[in-house]
Amino acid sequence: MDSPVTGRYVEETRRPDSELRTLTARAAVPAAYAKTYGHVLLPRPVFVSEREISAFADDLAALFRVLVSLPERCYDGDLDRYGAAIGLPPELIEVMREGAGGDPLLYARADAFHDGTGFRLLELNVGSELGGIDSAQLNRAFLDVPAFRAFADENRLGHTDTMAELVTELYAAAAARTGAAPTEGAPAVALVEAPGALGEHDGVFLSIQEDLRGHGIELQLGEIQELTEGPDGRLHLHGRPLDVILRFFAAGQIAGDPAARAALSLVNRAHAQGRTALFTPLEGALFTSKAALGLLHRPAVRAELTGAERELVDRVLPRTWVLGAEGCEDALEHARTHRASLVLKPGIGYSADGVVIGRDVDDAAWAAALAATALRDYVAQELVVPALEPALDPDTGLIGEWVANWGIFVTPRGYGGAFVRALQPRDGSVITYANPGTRGTCVFTHPEDEEKQI
C-alpha cells in the first residue's frame, strides 16, 4: 500500500548503516511471543492512516449491525430458516442459539485486503476466539529500539493495543456479573478451549497469557470439560473460582460431543444467572460465517436493506455468492463460468482451510472444488487484487514486495488495533502460517496529514 510513511521507512532501510535494516533482530520481544512468532516476523511494521483504518472499523460496526438484523428482517426471526439460507447444519445452529440473548456483543476481527484505494472485507470473525490479540507486544518492542522510536516520533506514529481493549471488555464482563465497579480489582479469568484442543496452539495461548499478565490479569488455561461448579455458585477451573471465561472454543468443536455439550450448558447457565460471565457466547457465530456476508448480495435480502446499507455493503464487501445452501443454483452456475475472478471458501473455516483460488487451478480442479460445495457450506467471492507492501531483506539488501492480509479488530468503542500477515507472491496465494513463507508484523497508524505530504 503506497504511503509517504512507508516510502520514508523503506528509503531509510536502504542505507547500509541504518539500524532500521535489522529492526526485528534488535527488538527485545517478550519470551513467549518470541518463541511462537519470532521466526516468522516481517522485517518491518506496516503503516496506515489513522483516519482510514478507523473509518473502516466504523463501517465494520455498521455492517455487523446489518448482519445481526437479518434473521428478524428477512426470515421472520426463524434461526432455522436463516441457518438454512447460509448452509449451517442444524446441529451447529442448536449449539449457537443455546444461551442466545438476541444482542451479540460486537467483538470481532476483519480479515481484509487493501486494494490501493481502500480496505475490502474478506471475512468477519465474530467472537472471542481471535488470534492476533497479542500483537501490540511487537509494537512496544519496536518502540524500545532507539532508531525506530526516533522514526516514530518524527512521523507521529501511534498504535492501538488490542489486548488493552480486551482487558476493558473483561473488566466490564466481570463487573456485570458482580456489580462491582469495572476498575475494582483484577477479574479471575480463564481462557477455555474445547476438549483436547488446548495443546494444539499452546504457544499462542502462552503468548496471550504473557501479554495479559502485563495488563494485570493472571490468565488460567483450561478446557471446557475441566470446568466445575463450586459451592459459591461460580464456575471453577483447577479449583480456582472464575469471574470470566474467555471463550476460545468454537461451535464446531462442541457439536457432536455429549460431554462438551453438557459442559457448554453448565457455562451458559452460569452466564445467564450472573455467576461466571462468558466472553463471548456462541451466538455471535451465527454471523461469522462467510455465507452470512453472501446473504447481503442476494436480491431478496438487498431489497430489505436501506439505500445507505446497500451502499455500505458495496463499499466494504467484495461480491460474495452463497453456495451449497438452499436456492443457490444460479450462484453455482456463475461460479462455474467465472473461475479466474473468484475465490472459493468454506463458510465456516480457519487458517484458510479449504480455500481454492480460481486463477491458481485448472478447470478440472475448479469443477472438483465446486462439487465439494454440496457437502458443506461454501461461498464464492470476487477476487480482490491487493496493493503490495515493500520490505527490505536485511540479509540481501533487496526490496521485496509482499501481499498483506490485514487483521483489523473492532469493539464497541470502534477500532481495536490491527496486525498483518504477509506473503510474497512467489510463495503462493493463500496467506496462513501453515504456509512457511508467511510472515507477521504489527501496525502503526499515522495522522491524516502525513498522507498529503510529498
- Report which of 252, 163, 273, 159 is spatially closest to residue 209, judged by C-alpha positions: 163
Window from 132-136, 248-252, 328-332, 351-355 with minimum mean pLDDT: 351-355
Q: Give the total number of structural domains in the chain.
A: 2
Q: What's the length of the chain? A: 454
Q: Is residue 226 part of a domain?
A: yes
Residue 180 has pLDDT above 70, yes or no: no
What integer pLDDT is reported at residue 326 of this predicted model? 66
In a domain, 306, yes or no: no
Q: What is the mean pLDDT of residues 182-211?
A: 91
Question: Is pLDDT at 200 greater than 80 in this prediction?
Answer: yes
The CATH number covering residue 333 comes to: 3.30.1490
375 versus 18: which is more confidently predicted? 18
374 and 395 in a single domain? The answer is no
What is the residue range of 269's domain? 4-289+386-452
Judge whether 423 lies within some domain: yes
| pLDDT tens, residue by residue, 265-321 | 999 999 999 999 999 999 999 998 889 999 999 999 999 999 999 999 999 999 999
Residue 431 is assigned to a structural domain of this protein: yes
The confidence score (pLDDT) of residue 35 equals 96
Is the same domain home to 260 and 372?
A: no
> Could you tell me if residue 51 is inside a domain?
yes
Q: What are the cell numbers at 119?
A: 480496505
Query: Does one domain contain both 210 and 243?
Result: yes
Residues 262 and 368 in one domain: no
Residues 265 and 229 in one domain: yes
Segment among 31-45, 172-186, 321-335, 367-381 with least mean pLDDT: 172-186
Q: Would you state the pLDDT for residue 434?
A: 87
Model confidence, pTM: 0.94
Domain boundary among 342, 367, 383: 383
Final residue of a structural domain among 343, 359, 383: 383
Amino acid identity for residue 354 in this structure: G
Q: Tell me how far apart the terminal alpha carbons of the chain are, to the nearest angstrom.
A: 16
Give which of 383, 411, 381 is closest to 290, Cα–Cα.
381
User: Is 260 in the same domain as 204?
Assistant: yes
What's the pLDDT band for 62 if we cut at 50, 70, 90? very high
Specify whether 277 is located in the same domain as 224: yes
Q: For residues 30 and 161, state if they share a domain.
A: yes
- Using DSSP's 3-state secondary structure scheme, residue 12 falls into helix
- Please say which residue of 383, 402, 436 terminates a domain: 383
Please indicate, yes or no, whether residues 40 and 93 belong to a single structural domain of this protein: yes
C-alpha cell at 390: 515493500
Q: Is residue 79 part of a domain?
A: yes
User: Does residue 296 sit within a domain?
Assistant: no
Does residue 327 belong to any structural domain of this protein?
Answer: yes
Residues whose CB falls within 8 Å of the CB of residue 316, separated by 6 or more in sequence, listed in order = 56, 59, 60, 63, 119, 120, 121
Q: Is 359 found in the same domain as 238?
A: no
Are both 273 and 329 inside the same structural domain? no
Within this chain, do residues 228 and 371 fall inside the same structural domain, yes or no? no
User: pLDDT exceeding 90 applies to what percent of the chain?
Assistant: 81
For residues 191-217, give the mean pLDDT.
96
Res. 449 pLDDT band, cuts 50 70 90: low
Would you place residue 179 in the very low, low, confident or very high pLDDT band (cuts 50, 70, 90)? low
